[in-house]
Structure 1
Amino acid sequence: MKLETEILQADHGGYGRACAILVSGGLVSLPTETVYGLGGDARNDRAVARIFEAKGRPQFNPLIVHVPSAEVAKTYVEWSHEAEVLASAFWPGAMTLVLPIRSDAGISPLVSAGLSTLAIRVPAHPVAQELLEQFGGPVAAPSANPSGRISPTTAAHVLAGLNGRIEAVLDGGACDVGLESTIIGLADDAILLRPGGVPAEVIEAALQMKLRHHAEGAQLSAPGQMTSHYAPGAAVRLNAEVRMTGELMIGFGDVDCDLNLSAASDLTEAAANLFHHLHALDAKGATGIAVSPIPEVGLGLAINDRLRRAAAPRD
């Protein structure tokens, strides 16, 4: 059934309408500082199932639950010293923690894809914070795009992919970080499950220890680990020095290109622009997209992770 997707403003009426939709088991796309999420009540099996349906997302791929504070997070997961260190340093912010789920959490088992752990975070975006406070419950929210495609950083991106499949989009403007959250597993020792908006080096400094890294091809234990993911319609070629015939080019640094992630070689600026530029060239009908080399340091680790998945062979 095709829905009339509403565009809600971040005001009293918009928050009230968004909360009413979530309470009824509907889906609302909400802005976070990373990307727009596709939110549903994490306690409602039907709402969570609809998230998978709207995205066309495999149900073995777990979701992230969003809550307004660390104190609320503690009611859903088993807390640890490492969790306290990271939450104190980086929440609200672009970090997700994966911890053992509490037996009394009341979270739909669809959220964790049958795992004994839960991915949870406290977003920093004021619109997301206000909605979570007013709703008063946990919101499962993967990126608000068809599964495997480019993540959305504006309300327009959400509508381009999900219009007619969800009830509403709460418009909070463009996302500041533009790259999904870093995911840290803490069920055993600390492991980097997905690089993202907080660089691994900064996390290691806070924990005063080295992170293990998730092995490519290992069992999925967190969102964003699918081999082919974040993909535009066009084929993507990485580490390109020049564009080939028929390609459009995304540059980094002082290069000839169609769009530049950061002419000043600033990785923070590049992260914020990544999905926006992929969307823009995809909208131009590019058949091939070439991307300049990106340094494999700091946020470059997360940018290259997204680009490798965008360039991976598709099913």
Structure 2
Amino acid sequence: MTRLLPPEAVAEAAALLRAGELVAFPTETVYGLGGDARNGRAVAAIFAAKGRPHFNPLISHYPSAEAAFADVQPDDRARALAAAFWPGPLTLVLPRRPGAAIDLLAGAGLDTLAVRVPAHPLALALLRAAALPVAGPSANLSGQVSPTTPAHVLAGLGGRIAAVLDGGPCAVGVESTVLDLTGAGPRGGAVLLRPGGITVEAIEALIGKVGRPGPQAAAAAARSLRSPGMLLSHYAPSLPVRLNATKAAADEALLAFGPALPGATVTWNLSETGDLAEAAARLFAGLRWLDAEGSARGCARIAAMAVPERGLGIAINDRLARAAAPRG
């Protein structure tokens, strides 16, 4: 049963977030589906609730630029944009700080994070009360229209999440503008990943020319999953990945699911009990650990056991397929 919380129930909504529950909350753009961005199980639950078929990076929401910049490394452009447009409908993709609190699953295993400070007073109150970064994609089933009222949220996610914090209809109604400042553009310039509530003209007036998305395929390849909605190959381990392993060799590092295969040099088990939510929460950490440990111990590859093609297993298998794809 999903509860509809009145605006004055901010403290209750914040307590749910701290307990690892999911709470939909209003922003100036659309309603976000909030979960503790530091908690891998909460982040996995976001993907499960939305029926999201891929582990796209999620935007992490903060109550202030100072809080956001504790997890990412801003440059002068980022600081200028934050001063001009935060709180507001602008998301910045920036390099992840070493030791950032954000769970790897929230960032889709990348070395970048998407961050923003929303302008809705209730969202800011919730973020301050929760005192944690909140991962918040749109609060709708994957592929459906983004929600701008509590009724929209309940129509899609009723029974799948703990609560909706009622802030009335959203003012902007389109998602935030997403700007990549990690040097992915020509000559290291900024790149627009998604148009939204802040115009490109306003951004360019502040920091100069911004690269626009090219043709669909080229743009998708260049974006490389740096932002929500961007789907193509991204972080992959240096060791080759072998899928659907039914045996493990002595020169392999094993990514296990359920009872582990014998024989591998090193093993990381996504979930000994076959729990897909636990597996999703441990996926990126496991790939990174096996890559480092396996390389150090002379392994030739990572052997990944099969994961069921259902629920979060679809997203896990999609990510593993990308990790195993031929390298150009």
**Corresponding residue to 2:162 among 161, 167, 172:** 167
Matches of 1:9 and 1:105 in 2, distance apart?
Answer: 33
C-alpha contact 1:204 1:211 (8 A) present in aligned 2: no
Task: Tell me, yes or no, if the aligned pair for 2:88 and 2:117 is still in contact at 8 Å.
Answer: yes
Aligned partners of 1:25, 1:217: CA distance in 2, in Å?
A: 32
Q: Equivalent residue of 2:35, what SS? A: strand
Partner of 1:283: none
Corresponding residue to 1:68 among 63, 80, 83: 63
Instruction: Kindly state the Cα deviation for residue 213 of structure 1 after the two structures are TM-superposed.
Output: 2.8
* Partner in structure 2 of residue 52 of structure 1: 47
The equivalent residue for 2:227 is 222
Query: How far did residue 212 of structure 1 move?
Result: 4.1
Q: Corresponding residue for 2:202?
A: 202
**Does residue 148 of structure 2 align to residue 153 of structure 1?**
yes
TM-score, normalisation: structure 1: 0.68
Q: Distance in 1 between matches of 2:195 and 2:55?
A: 20
Which one-letter code corresponds to 2:205 in the other structure?
A
Which residue does 1:10 correspond to in 2? Answer: 7
Partner of 1:37: 32
Separation (CA, whole Å) in 2 of partners of 1:126 and 1:141: 16
Task: Give per-residue Cα distances to partners, 1:64-83, cap 9 Å, x unaligned.
Answer: 00000001111000111110
Partner residue, 1:132: 127
Code of the residue aligned with 1:177 in structure 2: it is V
The 5-angstrom pairing of residues 149-298 of structure 1 reads 149-188=144-183, 189-213=189-213, 215-218=218-221, 219-225=224-230
Report percent identity of matched pairs: 59
Contact 2:192 2:210 in 1 (8 A): no
CA distance in 1, matches of 2:89, 2:57: 18
Deviation at 1:226, TM superposition (A): 5.7
Moved over 2 A (4+): 208-217, 224-227
Report the number of matched residues.
Answer: 222
User: Counterpart of 2:220 in structure 1: which amino acid?
Assistant: G
Match of 1:280 in 2: none
SS at 1:217's partner residue? Answer: helix
Compared CA separation, residues 210 and 15, structure 1 to 2 (3 A): closer
The residue aligned with 1:114 is: 109
Instruction: Tell me which amino acid in the other structure corresponds to 1:111.
Output: A
Aligned partners of 2:191 and 2:136: how far apart in 1? 22
Deviation at 1:106, TM superposition (A): 1.5
**Secondary structure of 1:213's aligned partner:** coil
Write the distance in 2 (CA, Å) between the matches of 1:201 and 1:148: 29
Match of 1:294? none
Find the residue that maps to 1:216 and give its secondary structure.
Answer: helix
Which residues of structure 2 form unaligned runs of 5+? 184-188, 233-328
Gaps of 5+ in 1: 228-315
Per-residue deviation at 1:220? 2.2
| Contact 1:59/1:110, CA 8 A, preserved across alignment | no
Cα shift readout 1:189-236 (whole Å, capped 9, x = no counterpart): 210011111111111111122334364332322013369xxxxxxxxx
1:199 & 1:175 partners in 2: Cα distance?
18
Match of 1:77 among 55, 62, 72: 72
Larger CA deviation: 36-45 vs 59-68: 59-68
1:127 Cα deviation (Å)? 0.4
Shift of 1:184: 0.3
AA aligned to 2:147 is P
Residue of structure 2 in register with 1:105 after alignment = 100
Tell me the CA shift for residue 60 of structure 1. 2.7
Taking structure 2 as the reference length, the TM-score comes to 0.66
RMSD between aligned residues: 1.4
Residue 92 of structure 2: SS of its match in structure 1?
Answer: strand
Distance 1:210 1:130 in 2: 32
Q: Name the aligned partner's letter for residue 221 of structure 1.
A: R
- Which one-letter code corresponds to 1:199 in the other structure? T
Distance in 1 (CA, whole Å) between partners of 2:121 and 2:47 is 26
